[in-house]
Chain A
Amino acid sequence: MIIQTINLTTTTIRTTKLALIGVIWIWLFVMLSSTIGCSGNYASISVEEHRYNQLNKLIVCPICPGESIDQSQATISSQMRTIVNEKISQGWTDDQIKDFFVERYGPSVIMEPPTHGFGLLAWIVAPIIIGAGVAGLATALVQMRKRSRKEYSSTACRPSISTSEQRQYSQYIESLIEGEEA
């Protein structure tokens, strides 16, 4: 009997695992081919071109509402893109190119707030909130642990309703037993 149960359990585990592994392989195959395809295609343009695209997505078109020079079709956008292209081929770093535009158009031309001064406020908000949430969770748990330890330490099982409610309840039960209530 015991041997039968053990056999049944191992067969189930084996079948489960086999089926699961089968499905996961299919998923992995999709992921794999995408990644290989991705990295193959990804390497088909140069590192500079990738930098060019990324920078264009960071720089705002000065006359369009909320569009980057990558998205916008305005003439000034294509002029700015040409400048970015030139500077990359001249060997400027990303930060230097960003500073170049900030000098001419002000800090609002870059789609990220700066990491110093007032802009820092934008960046630190999320970690602060998560930190606060984790701290709150931890504090709440520690407090609950302390409280529940106190409760478990009493030997009697104390019901959570008052004595008058207990009386009401037992009266109701008795009347049910005696068949007076429907």
Chain B
Amino acid sequence: MSDIGQLSLILALSVTLYTIVSSFIGSWRRIPELVKSGEYGFYTVPLLLAFPTYVLVHSFVVRDFSIRYVYENSDLAMPHAYTWVALYAGNAGSLLFLAVVLSIFSVLAIITMRRKLPHTTPYATGVLAIILAFFLTIIVFLANPLDKLNFLPADGLGINPLLIHFGMFIHPPLQMSGLVLVAVPFSISIGALLARRGGRDEWVDMGRLWGMISWLILTIGLLLGSWWAYTILGWGGYWAWDPVENSALMPWLAMTAFVHSVMVQKRRGMFRMWNMIIIIIAFTLAQMGMFINRGGPVPSVHSFAQSTMGWLFLMFMTVTLIISLAIFIWRLDSLKSRGQLESILSRESAFLAQNILFLTVAFVTLWGTIFPVFSEVASGDTMTIGQPYFNIINGPILLGIIFLMGVGPLIPWRRSSVRSLIRLLRIPVLVALATFIILSAAGGTKLFATISFATLSLALSGILLEWIRGTNSWHKRGDSYIQGYLKLVSRNRPRYGGYVVHIGIIMLASGITASSFYSVQKDIFMKPGDVASLGNYTFAYVDGNRQNYTNREEFIASFRVYNDQSVVDTLDAKRIFYPDFKIAATIGAIRSTPLEDFYIVPSEFNENNEAVFRVLINPMIWWMWASGPVIFLGVLIGLWPKRRSPPTHMRLHDIQSQDIQGNIP
């Protein structure tokens, strides 16, 4: 059966290659039948890839260790549920996973855009097919998950124990999907460029839709990864500016800039060149993410799908970048702006500033990630760049972005005067100042944290002001407050969905600020029966237990936790040792409230169940995880389709491009 699976993979590659040829030649030579044949053929690729996936799943379930990938990523002791994780745990499997996700979303994208963008779709299809063909070529020739071993082992090597956690069921697939799905808005943009329609702005709606979908998946992937790092890796933190983490953050930054910047293109026909550059950068960074993940030159705690094919991804990334820029320059004349930047005090100017700031953070992160390699080559000295560097430089820039997030929606389009800006921003600025003064007086010793909270208050009050004003105006017309608010949101979903997302970002940033500046950490050596305290928490090490399982040994320390108000909690901190992998995983005991997290992590236990425990108090971490559903809700609202009303006006260039029957192509 695996042979048929292999055949299916080869067939998928062939069809994809055909789609490339037919889409480009058919568009260039204006042979619509050829284009259509490629498009319809492309629709079969998800099915052609579903079959080998099924074969792989089946092989895991029946424990067919003759297939190398099953041998390397599972064993007889593995519960069946972990087959899902094993599918993407190794290099070949993760590539197949990426190919399946890309093919499905590509087909969805093509179906949604082919009626609205008849000229762009063939080119976009071709670009998507090229990207998919790259993955499929590697799968078929270099990293085939259905390759067989020439012997039948009795048992497999087993799955990496760090992956056995609830978060690992969702984080890697989401993260990988987010990265690969940047290909969709990229293909739409490049397709529009190739079709000479980059400056027509018709592609912006689709670009924004698919941009937001990939952005959302990237966001949730990043949040889940941080949550996993916090709860299972046991160092009390959630983000270390590790190269693999950075490689997922950089495309996220570029995509955030992109989904905002296309709004200006839609509204005023400006930033056409910017948006092309931003999406090209975003896709390049996404590819760099895959390069660093698969055997890049920078050492990382993270690389689990290690292989030597990182260089292939680097090559593909370089080629894509060079060709995209060449196309950009070739079609430069089609990207001239319709509108002008008329004043610094305008929303366009705020969007321009956010473009610059987001790309700066992305560049600084990139610079910091590759600088060690760069410095070794250039100066002979190796230098390490870690958390402190990124925090010091990116922190203020990100704060600047939050400031823009707060004032941007309140600044008018085109131009504004200082007087009207004062009137519009009066309340948020006053709230920010009040926050600063009150927090400083209450004992906020860290200046940057206080500035940060003041800026977040500015952003929050700006959003609430808009909501209250809007709801009030509906209320005056007779609706109740709730009805009025719902109508407000429903009539302008992109805007109000965006506000909800911004509230999520405020929650996230609050948690990051508080925990970055006010975390308290202490290592304490304790034996069973000891009592210690940190802050207003007192904790007693009640009992230490060992439990042996077939593949691991668990050390469990039970704690009783009290705080000032004598609320009692019982927490278990675990340290799990996997002798086959020689890896120890720690599961911290966490008591989480919106105010702060109380966190105990054990290190190695000795024979008397004594150990050094790291005890942490992390303020406001809860808000970080709570922001996830809020952001998701916001995107949902923002993308929720409205019933379309027929167009009531036509633009001049549409009239001009009408044919004799009045059809607009």
Contact = CB atoms under 8 A, between A and B. Distances in A.
A108 interface: yes
A27 B457 contact: yes
Given A34-B620, A133-B356, A140-B341, A111 B349 contact: no
Interface in A98-118: 106-114, 117-118
Interface in B282-332: 298-301
B586 to A, nearest CB: 9
Contact of A41 (B301, B341, B460, B518): B518
Contact of B387 (A8, A73, A111, A118): A111
B206 interface: no
B472 A28 contact: no
Contact of A68 (B356, B364, B386): B386
Contacts of B138: none
Interface residues of A, number: 73
Interface in B434-490: 434-435, 438-439, 442-445, 453, 457, 460-461, 464-465, 468-469, 472, 476
Given A66-B301, A119-B375, A148 B520 contact: no
A45 B472 contact: no
B523 to A, nearest CB: 8
Contact of B385 (A112, A140, A169): A112
A15 interface: yes
Contacts of A45: 520-522, 534
A113 B371 contact: yes
Interface residues of B, number: 84
Looking at A32, A41, A109, the one whose CB has the most chain B CB atoms below 10 A away is A41
Nearest to A32: B442
A112 to B, nearest CB: 5
Contacts of B465: 16, 20
Contacts of A121: 371
Given A20-B468, A24-B464, A65-B301, A58 B235 contact: no
A106 B536 CA distance: 41
Nearest to B454: A31
A122 B385 contact: yes
Contacts of B620: 34
B353 interface: yes
A13 to B, nearest CB: 10
A71 interface: yes
Nearest to A68: B386
A129 B363 contact: yes
Given A42-B520, A107-B382, A67 B604 contact: no
A141 B535 CA distance: 53
A73 B584 contact: yes
Contacts of B243: 66
B531 interface: no
Nearest to A132: B356
Contacts of A49: 522
Looking at B341, B520, B584, the one whose CB has the most chain A CB atoms below 10 A away is B520
A32 B514 contact: no
Nearest to B363: A129
Interface string A15-50: 111011001100110111111111111101100010
Contact of B344 (A108, A109, A141): A141
Given A71-B240, A129-B360, A141 B341 contact: yes
Interface in A148-182: 148, 161, 165, 168-169, 172, 181-182
Contact of B299 (A35, A57, A65, A112): A65
| Among all A-B residue pairs, the 7 with the closest Cβ atoms | A111-B386, A41-B535, A133-B356, A38-B518, A65-B299, A39-B443, A108-B382
20 contacts: A20-B427, A28-B438, A32-B439, A35-B442, A37-B596, A38-B596, A39-B518, A44-B534, A58-B386, A66-B301, A67-B301, A73-B603, A111-B388, A113-B389, A122-B383, A126-B397, A130-B397, A134-B356, A137-B352, A141-B343
Interface of B: 235, 237, 240, 242-243, 298-301, 340-344, 349, 352-353, 356-357, 360, 363-364, 367-368, 371-372, 375, 378-379, 381-389, 393-394, 397, 427, 431, 434-435, 438-439, 442-445, 453, 457, 460-461, 464-465, 468-469, 472, 476, 514, 517-518, 520-522, 534-536, 584, 594-596, 603-604, 617, 619-620, 652, 655-656, 661-662
Given A60-B386, A108-B384, 8 more contacts: A20-B427, A24-B464, A31-B453, A39-B518, A122-B371, A125-B364, A137-B349, A147-B340
Interface of A: 8, 12, 15-17, 19-20, 23-24, 27-28, 30-42, 44-45, 49, 53, 57-58, 60, 64-68, 70-71, 73, 106-114, 117-119, 121-123, 125-126, 129-130, 133-134, 137, 140-141, 144, 147-148, 161, 165, 168-169, 172, 181-182
